[in-house]
Amino acid sequence: MDSPKRRGGKAGSAPADGHDPKGHRARLRSRMLHGGPDALADHELVEYLLMTAIPRRDVKPLARSLLSRFGGLAGVFNADAKALASHPGMGETSAAALKIVSIATRRLARAEVQDKPVLGSWAALIDYLTIDMAHLTVERVRVLYLNAQNRLIHDEHVGDGSLDEAAIHPREVIRRAMEVGAAALILVHNHPSGNPEPSRADIQITNRIAEAGRLLNIVVHDHVIIGRSGHVSLRSKGLI
17: in domain: no
pLDDT, mean of residues 58-81:
91
Q: For position 166, what pLDDT does the model report?
A: 52
Q: How confident is the model at residue 28 (pLDDT cuts 50, 70, 90)?
A: confident
Does residue 228 have a pLDDT over 90?
no
180: in domain: yes
79 and 134 inside one domain: no
Question: 74 lies in which domain range?
Answer: 24-108
122: in domain: yes
pLDDT digits 0-9 by tens, 115-173: 778 878 888 899 989 988 888 888 899 999 999 999 999 999 988 876 655 567 889 99
Percent of the chain at pLDDT > 90 equals 48
Domain boundary among 108, 136, 160: 108
39 and 137 inside one domain: no
100 and 173 inside one domain: no
Q: How confident is the model at residue 13 (pLDDT cuts 50, 70, 90)?
A: very low
Identify the sign of the CA torsion 206, 212, 214, 217: negative
pLDDT digits 0-9 by tens, 89-108: 999 999 999 999 988 988 88
The predicted model scores a pTM of 0.72
Contact 129, 224 (CB under 8 A): yes
CA–CA dist 137, 74 (Å, integer): 13
102 and 129 inside one domain: no
Q: For position 14, what pLDDT does the model report?
A: 42
Count of structural domains, the chain = 2
Which residues, 6+ apart, have CB-to-CB distance to 224 below 8 Å? 126, 129, 186, 187, 188, 231, 232, 233, 234
Min mean pLDDT across 40-44, 61-65, 115-119 is at: 115-119
The more confidently predicted of residues 66 and 9 is 66
Domain boundary among 108, 138, 165: 108
List the one residue out of 194, 155, 158, 188 whose CA is nearest residue 74: 194
Domain boundary among 53, 76, 108: 108
12: in domain: no
Min mean pLDDT across 54-63, 64-73, 149-158, 162-171 is at: 162-171
Q: For position 22, what pLDDT does the model report?
A: 63
CA–CA dist 121, 112 (Å, integer): 8
CA–CA dist 48, 69 (Å, integer): 18
